Amino acid sequence: MKIEELVTMGETYLMNNYKRLPISFVEGKGCYVTDTENNKFLDFIGGIAVNNLGHSPEAVVTAIKEQAEKLMHVSNLFWIESQVTLAKILVENSFADKAFFCNSGAEANEGAIKLARKYAYKKFGNHKHEIIAMTGSFHGRTLGTLAITDNKKYQEGYGPIPEGFKFAEFNNIESVNALVNENTCGILVEPVQGEGGVTPATKEFLEALKVLCKEKDILLIFDEIQCGIARTGKLFAYQHFGVEPDIMSLAKALGGGFPIGAVVATEEIAAAWQPGDHGTTFGGNPLACASGVATLQTVINEKLWEKAETMGSYFAEKLQVFVDTYPWVKEVKGLGLMMGLELEIEGASIVQKAFNEGILINCTAGKVLRFVPPLVVEKEDIDIVIDALQEIFTEMEVE
């Protein structure tokens, strides 16, 4: 179907809640995608940090095909082998003792909130229910996760927003201390903020949060939906800081492109949920978990966090040249292959110019160019992006 026809049909039949570029991709392999007109694009968005193994990775495609031919869905009224296997892999490679599976990042964060509140309710009573989140945060678009997302534009028109949530300043422990009281049950933080500008937490901040949570019997919750699964140069971002949370939410790259989310927690915290306390129809289905197993086995066997660290360092070094050259380029941010280039100007026009050159990037927080390519990216791919940006930046006139 021609793109013009597809756009016309889409505008007729789809709700208008996405601002889409006039292009449709029909095939992808590794770091590249091809559109309906057979144009090839280098993808440094990666489905927004979803395609860590690249497009159509063989291991995941094979796992999905084999599982789909046998069984796709039965419900959680029964034991599911791939679900148990995936839980085992997550537990054996993280701080956690137990796992719960859902369908998305927002669901995972909803689950994390509910688990924290249930634990506090059983231990202390229903007064201890407040969650402290951070400025610059993004945790999802359900009503519950909107309440812990620090961006009023996402909340506009959806009130009343659920109560029981407060915002402290990211990387400022004194700001957190000022909000903690007898009603606080959890502190939620992204070890690396994605939508908030690709900003890592400081080691000192996370260490201080851990001490505070232990002193006050508050649960520490890490949202690793975007920064998890080897993206930052460790299998999980918390491993950079030597700080283990009590609960962690995962999604995005967990399924290698197939939708799946997870909540993992320590034994004590997980025990707060008993049969009937929480659930989901599709969560942890055989097909999603088969893709998750194939994804994690590939990531772990190939130690892709090492590739992310190596390529991320190379990419950061190349991006730093722009900071040193152009006064309106402010800072290189991020960890591993979760990279941001912060500007003094709006970045949307640069995203469009890169697109015109066959490169997919995006801009977050208005002025941060975000790069989250597949972890299978090579130096040659990075050089293509750097050369294109160099040409774009050279031709720009910035006052």
At 106 the pLDDT is 98
At 18 the pLDDT is 94
CA separation for the pair 116, 248 (Å, rounded): 11
Share of the chain above pLDDT 70, in %: 100
What value does the mean pLDDT of the chain take? 97
CA separation for the pair 30, 45 (Å, rounded): 12
Q: Characterize 316-327 residue by residue with b for buried, 16 or more Cβ atoms within 10 angstroms of its Cβ, and e for exposed.
A: bebbeebeeebe
Question: Is pLDDT at 1 greater than 90 in this prediction?
Answer: no
Which of the listed CATH numbers 3.90.1150.10, 2.60.40.680, 1.20.1090.10, 3.40.630.190 matches domain 3-56+303-395? 3.90.1150.10
Go through the chain and tell me how many residues it has.
399
19 phi/psi in degrees, rounded to 5: -100, 95
Question: Is pLDDT at 144 greater than 70 in this prediction?
Answer: yes
Average pLDDT over residues 262-267: 98
Model confidence over 316-326: pLDDT tens digits?
Answer: 999 999 999 99
Strands 130-134 and 184-189: parallel
CA separation for the pair 51, 164 (Å, rounded): 34
- How do the domains of the chain map onto residue ranges? 3-56+303-395, 58-301
Question: Is pLDDT at 134 greater than 90 in this prediction?
Answer: yes
At 398 the pLDDT is 73
Model confidence over 50-101: pLDDT tens digits?
Answer: 999 999 999 999 999 999 999 999 999 999 999 999 999 999 999 999 999 9
At 399 the pLDDT is 58
Where residue 397 falls among pLDDT bands split at 50, 70, 90? confident
Question: Is pLDDT at 362 greater than 80 in this prediction?
Answer: yes
CA separation for the pair 262, 83 (Å, rounded): 11
Q: Are 36 and 2 in contact (CB under 8 A)?
A: yes
CA separation for the pair 302, 83 (Å, rounded): 22
Question: Is pLDDT at 383 greater than 90 in this prediction?
Answer: yes
- Say what the pTM is: 0.97
Structure tokens at 319: 């991006």
Torsion, Cα 294 259 30 71, to 10 degrees, reads 50
Question: Is pLDDT at 341 greater than 70 in this prediction?
Answer: yes
DSSP-H helix ranges across 180-285: 203-216, 267-270
Model confidence over 267-306: pLDDT tens digits?
Answer: 999 999 999 999 999 999 999 999 999 999 999 999 999 9
Where residue 38 falls among pLDDT bands split at 50, 70, 90? very high
**Cα angle, residue 188 at apex, residues 116 and 54 outer, rounded to 5°:** 110
Question: Is pLDDT at 151 greater than 90 in this prediction?
Answer: no
CATH topology of domain 58-301: Aspartate Aminotransferase; domain 2 (3.40.640)
Q: Are 376 and 54 in contact (CB under 8 A)?
A: yes
CA separation for the pair 90, 224 (Å, rounded): 13
**Beta-carbon count within 10 A of 71 CB:** 14
